[in-house]
Amino acid sequence: MDNLTEKINKLKKEKNAIILAHCYQNAEIDEVADYVGDSLYLSQMAARTNADIILFAGVYFMAQTAKILCPDKKVLLPNIKAGCEMADMINLQQLREFKNKYPDIPAVCYINSTAEVKSECDICCTSSNAVQIVDSLKAEKVLFLPDKNLGRWVEKCLGNTKIITYDGYCPIHHNITVEDVLKIKKENPYIKLLAHPECKEEVSSLADFVGSTTGIMNFVKNNSDKKFIIATEKGVVDRLKRDYPQKEFIIIKENLICESMKLNTLQDIYTSLENETFEIKVDKEVSEKALKCIEKMLDVSKIGAAK
């Protein structure tokens, strides 16, 4: 593995390439990644880079987003089979039908969506900034897609905006039940539960903290507690155990693994960089429309960060 890591780092320098890795990736990929984080952070890093090649250790929609933000750069996805079940729950036709049912209402799409879907929405969001993005619209009603759980959590946080959600969800987070929470809380009383907002509303309402992957990691970093229950994908737990060996982390159930996210390997990354495969391309017209949707999100996020 060490030899493979060295080869990848050598290729990065030769080709002026950077590697972006999502927190759900296998933890060993962090050894070669230039940036590791959630979707918002990685989108921001893609937008800022001077590299000629962006290799995205993540899933298809993430690489698409990087290509939209950097149309003149070569964007690679190490394993072309790495997709997202949530993103696949809505296509362009389904989006149009959803919007036609609720005309003249702004549409917010979660970043976990295809370029085509982004191209026909008003603004994009991530789990890190969804509340901020919806609030920025100052609308009485908002369409939110594809994740109904995230949409309902945003509605609860804001209180004054009616959110009409599409019937999509992340199968990993949606699989967490109230029974799972009650069981593990009984076994570990007084231990804080940190949950991702892609969890069902009845689950997130029982959590001590709800936030994105980065939000959960920052909560652990800034909290003096030594033990936490984590309700999100296993990759986050793996990194928390590595980064905070003095603390204990209990995953709420053992099968919270996104198989698509785990498809990318160090060997895939090396092969992808060496052969410059699999290159991600987005139709020019679709890309230009989707870019406006993403840039609006990034602009709102910048304003929020400056406050």
Beta bridge pairs of residue 56: 20
Strand partners, 230: 194, 251
> What is the average pLDDT value for the chain, to the nearest integer?
95
pLDDT value at 305 more than 60: no
pLDDT at residue number 304: 46
CATH of domain 87-170+290-306: 3.40.50.10800
Secondary structure letter of residue 74 according to DSSP: E
Contact between residue 58 and residue 261 where contact means Cβ atoms under 8 Å apart: yes
- Where along the chain do the CATH 3.40.50.10800 domains lie? 2-83+261-281, 87-170+290-306, 176-251
Is pLDDT of 209 > 60? yes
Classified by CATH at the fold level, domain 2-83+261-281 comes out as Rossmann fold (3.40.50)
Give residue 307's pLDDT band: very low, low, confident or very high (50, 70, 90): very low
**Residue 187, pLDDT above cutoff 60:** yes
Q: Which amino acid is it at 27?
A: A
Q: Name the band, by pLDDT with cuts 50, 70 and 90, for residue 204.
A: very high
Q: pLDDT tens digits for 126-146?
A: 999 999 999 999 999 999 999
Model pLDDT, residue 235: 95
pTM across the whole model: 0.94
Mean pLDDT of 112-131: 97
Cα 59 to Cα 75: distance, rounded to the nearest angstrom: 12
List the one residue out of 94, 17, 93, 89 whose CA is nearest residue 56. Answer: 17
DSSP for residue 254: T
177 φ/ψ sector (left φ>0, alpha ψ -120 to 50, else beta): beta
Architecture of domain 176-251: 3-Layer(aba) Sandwich (3.40)
Nearest to 128 by CA among 39, 22, 223: 39
Burial, 50: exposed, middle or buried (Cβ in 10 Å; 0-12, 13-18, 19+)? exposed
